[in-house]
A and B are shown apart, each in its own frame.
Chain A
């Protein structure tokens, strides 16, 4: 009986939330979560910003191979992207204490210009309902998430920049 109640409730809530939110999920603001910068300073995710220009947030970990391929591929074109669109990339690491100390040498060693954040306790990942990494979010000028994508396939970064360009065109 208990199970039945749970299952019914679950379905109810799920159905409800989808029905309720479907028209709105087009965009939403970032949740406020306390995480850390790569220097170990505290950082609230509300402070993610790019002076009214689009933002890309990439969740990654040093042990995640597709994530590394993604960040390396974007790094090759990031200069061009910034010149053309002014987009800014936040790379959020979910490495725990086993490998979080590897993030700084990794970022410097690869000479990445991303803003790098550490989400060691995965609070930000949970707040954004990320199941698996890599997972990418694109934010518009009002810092609202307008697009997101799970997994990485070579070439998908081309889609990221096209969406960013579209966002700039939409802006009056």
Chain B
């Protein structure tokens, strides 16, 4: 397969060059993007920034796409030979063309050969996607066929290997049917009703080479979903079930897994209410049994927590626990109308959000309990779990409120309060660590000097007795639309119980934007933490130094 890549690209290049001057390219369009993130590393023993042998490192990738009518082809060149230290820590090291495809999209069907991203329903049993900042890419490498026989009906089939870091391994195949009644029946489409259903099946194959256990080699998972809406009201849900799949993640138990995701929302002008619940039980689904961390994952279990955009509360972000979790999230957004006494001239935005996630309740099967009372799960059916019961252990809790108001053409203020209860032991695997209870207050003030110039001041304070103690954060940003950004920030761990670790993590940065290109330069310290995107997290090591980033598309 390795030899095919250069051939594929040569053919592609040859094709373009040979016919470039003719009608094919005139109708077609070549486009792409390039991103470079480079850093010069300075050691700092206090914050834990290592003294690296190779001090200048970079992540580079470029996408090239060619489109001509329904036909498209492209590839991504990735150069992570000496990547940023974060990526080295997760073994995202290598270079080459791990992503390449050719596709044809027609009114009634679509075919993709090569790498592709796809998801069935909400992704509970299958989602291949990329999150480049996270170093996550589990693209399926094979073939995808989509049939669209009638408006409102889509049938998708996928078959292939799975990308993990810089190799393709593990076999996955699946099919999905999606039916939208709203589109099929005009009588529904013309009314305020909306409705649709879907079903999917995914299976993986992995040879059993275990000396002790007889392991299933073909493991299937099923999911069914439905949605129903009427005017401002919306309800949707998906249930998924998986065959027994003993793996490192579930401690080799033979119990089948299941997952349920339910969402309800209601909205009208000025008001939005959102409620969602999730339960996953033994639902870690990977192409390889022994894989861990973010490797070889087939599915996507969304997290039911708000994704905080402010720096301090995002320090303690929840990471989805596929092996067992039950929880809910509720959110209300309300706009106090403009030109009222309380709402002010421009109105006031209020958002209240609450989420709470527990472990599931587990009753261990008799075979799993040894004579001396210890739990030995491997090889047994593990446990039984009452479906709607919350386990005793709180994994995560988040209460937050945000109020935003514009006072006049120049001044705008957002204030926010966030309470987090974060189970370090479960989320980060730090055995014995207590839950972190953190209270954060945030003020975010924007002053628009004139049409192009604006100043923004962000102040945050986090109070906690646990982990690293209290933090303070201040950032001043000056922007000149549409080109320039300047920012100075300091994140001070003044409450760290160890005096020498009461460090200022400062950062000075500037960026310049020209159309689709952005150049950024920054200098400062990065604290050792966790970066999460969509509930998938990775560790970010401490670092100190100078950072250059160039992003462009054409």
Chain A: residues with CB nearer than 8 A to chain B? 2-3, 5-7, 9-10, 12-14, 16-18, 20-21, 25, 28-29, 31-34, 39-42, 63-65, 76, 96-99, 101-102, 104-111, 120-123, 126-132, 135, 147-151, 153-156, 158-159
Other-chain residue from B117, B513, B553 in contact with A130 (beta carbon distance below 8 A):
B553
A96/B129 in contact, CB under 8 A: yes
- Chain A, residue nearest B444 (CB): A65
B154 adjacent to chain A (CB < 8 Å): yes
B20 is an interface residue with CB less than 8 A from chain A: yes
Given the interface contacts A63-B309, A96-B123, A108-B272, does A151 sit within 8 Å of B518 by beta carbon? yes
B110 contacts chain A at the CB level, 8 A cutoff: yes
Partner of B62 from A10, A21, A99 at Cβ < 8 Å: A10
Chain A residues whose C-beta falls within 8 Å of the C-beta of B65 in the assembled complex: 126-127, 129
Closest to A32 in B: B105
B307 touches A99 (CB 8 A): yes
Q: Do A158 and B451 touch (CB < 8 A)?
A: yes
**B454, A155: Cβ atoms closer than 8 Å:** yes
Report whether A101 and B234 are in contact in the complex, using a CB–CB cutoff of 8 Å: yes
- Do A108 and B236 contact each other (CB < 8 Å), given the known contacts A10-B62, A14-B64? no
Beyond A20-B25, A28-B29, whether A109 also contacts B451 by CB under 8 A is no
Interchain CB contact (< 8 A) of A122 among B67, B117, B453, B518 = B117
Known interface pairs A98-B534, A149-B482; A109-B448 also in contact (CB < 8 Å): no
Q: Which residues of A contact B62 (CB under 8 A)?
A: 10, 14
Complex Cα distance, B75 from A6, in Å, reads 12
Q: Which residues of B sit under 8 angstroms from A102, Cβ to Cβ?
A: 265, 274, 331
Is the Cβ of A129 less than 8 Å from the Cβ of B35?
A: no
A153 touches B480 (CB 8 A): yes
Residue among B117, B122, B194, B270 making CB contact with A109, cutoff 8 Å: B270
- Chain B residues within 8 Å of A65, by CB: 309
* Distance, CA A128 to CA B183, complexed state (A): 27
Which residue from B63, B265, B453 sits with its C-beta under 8 Å from A155? B453
Please provide the chain B residues from 239 to 269 with a CB less than 8 Å away from any CB of chain A in the complex. Answer: 261, 263, 265-269
* Chain A positions within 8 Å of B272 at CB level: 105-106, 108-109
In chain B, residues 151-195, which have Cβ atoms closer than 8 Å to a Cβ of chain A? 151-152, 154, 180, 182-183, 189, 194
Per-position contact with A for B446-489: 1 when CB-CB < 8 Å, else 0?
A: 10101111101000000000000000000000011111110000
B117 touches A121 (CB 8 A): yes
Q: Is the CB of B182 within 8 A of A40?
A: yes
Residues 251 to 307 of chain B near chain A (Cβ within 8 Å): 261, 263, 265-274, 276, 300, 302-304, 307
B497 to chain A: which residues have CB within 8 Å?
none
Chain B residues with Cβ under 8 A from A108's Cβ?
A: 232, 267-269, 271-272
Given contacts A98-B303, A148-B516, A149-B516, 11 further A-B contacts (CB under 8 A): A13-B64, A14-B34, A25-B554, A32-B105, A97-B300, A98-B302, A109-B270, A111-B335, A130-B553, A149-B482, A150-B516
Determine whether the beta carbon of B454 is less than 8 Å from that of A153. yes
**Inter-subunit contact B274/A153 (CB<8 Å):** no
Task: Please determine whether B335 and A109 come into contact, CB atoms closer than 8 angstroms.
Answer: yes
Counting chain B residues whose Cβ lies within 8 A of the other chain, the interface size class is 35 or more
Task: Report how far A52 CA is from B516 CA in the complex, Å.
Answer: 25
* 19 contacts across the A-B interface (CB closer than 8 A): A13-B9, A21-B29, A34-B110, A39-B229, A40-B196, A41-B180, A76-B346, A97-B302, A99-B307, A105-B331, A108-B267, A109-B269, A148-B515, A150-B518, A150-B551, A150-B553, A153-B481, A153-B482, A154-B454
Do the beta carbons of A109 and B271 come within 8 Å of each other? yes
A16–B17 contact, CB under 8 A?
yes
For B3, give the chain A residue with the smallest CB separation: A2
B359 located at the interface, meaning its Cβ lies under 8 Å from any Cβ of chain A in the complex: no
Are the C-beta atoms of A31 and B117 separated by less than 8 Å? no
In the complex, what distance in Å separates the CA atom of A135 from the CA atom of B31? 16
Give every chain B residue within 8 A of A42 (Cβ-Cβ): 148, 151-152, 154, 180, 183
Please judge, given known A-B contacts A18-B554, A41-B182, whether A121 and B129 are in contact too, CB under 8 Å.
yes
Q: Is there contact, CB below 8 Å, between B129 and A105? A: no
Once the chains are docked, how many angstroms separate the CA of A57 from the CA of B271?
Answer: 25
Q: How far is the CB of A45 from chain B (nearest CB, A)?
A: 11
Residues of chain B within 8 A of A2, CB atoms compared: 6, 96
Q: How far is the CB of A74 from chain B (nearest CB, A)?
A: 13
B208 contacts across to A, CB distance below 8 A = none
Measured CB to CB, the nearest residue on chain A to B334 is A109
The reply to whether A149 and B515 contact each other, CB–CB distance below 8 Å, is yes
A104-B119 contact in complex given A39-B229, A40-B196, A155-B451, C-beta closer than 8 Å: no
Q: Which residue of B lies closest to A135 (CB)?
A: B516
A12–B174 alpha-carbon span in the complex (Å) = 38
Decide yes or no whether B13 CB sits under 8 A from chain A.
Answer: yes
CA distance A127 to B291 in the complex (A): 32
Task: Tell me if B236 and A101 are in contact (CB < 8 A).
Answer: yes
Question: Taking the complex as formed, is B509 at the interface, i.e. its CB lies under 8 A from any CB of chain A?
Answer: no
Q: Which residues of chain A have C-beta atoms less than 8 A from B515's C-beta?
A: 147-150
Q: Specify which of A21, A41, A110, A111 is in contact with B554 (CB 8 Å cutoff).
A: A21
* B123: nearest chain-A partner, CB-CB: A97
Taking CB atoms, residues of chain B closer than 8 Å to A63 are: 307, 309
The interface residues of chain A lying within 8 Å CB-to-CB of B304 are 98
Nearest residue in A to B269 (C-beta to C-beta)?
A111
| Residue ID in chain A nearest B5 by CB atoms | A6
A14 to B36, CA, bound (A): 14
Contact call B479/A154, Cβ cutoff below 8 A = yes
| Interface hub of A3, A109, A132 (most chain B Cβ within 10 A) | A109
Q: Which chain B residues lie closer than 8 Å to A12 at the CB level?
A: 13
Asked if A131 and B183 sit within 8 Å, CB to CB, the answer is: no
With most chain B CB atoms within 10 A of its CB, the pick from A14, A106, A153 is A153
Contact yes or no, B307 A98, CB < 8 A: yes
Kindly list chain A residues whose C-beta atoms are within 8 Å of the C-beta of B385. none
User: Within 8 Å CB of A32, what residues of B?
Assistant: 70, 105
Are A155 and B448 also in contact (CB < 8 A) when A14-B34, A17-B30, A122-B117 are? yes
Asked if B502 is an interface residue, CB under 8 A from chain A, the answer is no
Known interface pairs A21-B30, A32-B105; A105-B479 also in contact (CB < 8 Å): no
A18–B276 CA distance with the chains assembled, in angstroms? 47
Closest to A29 in B: B29
User: B333–A154 contact, CB under 8 A?
Assistant: no
Q: Does B393 contact A (CB under 8 A)?
A: no
- Residue B380, interface by CB 8 Å: no
Closest chain-A Cβ to B547's Cβ sits at a distance in Å of 16
Leading 3 A-B pairs by shortest Cβ distance = A105-B272, A109-B272, A108-B267
Residues of A within 8 A of B232 (CB): 108
Q: Which residue of B lies closest to A36 (CB)?
A: B180
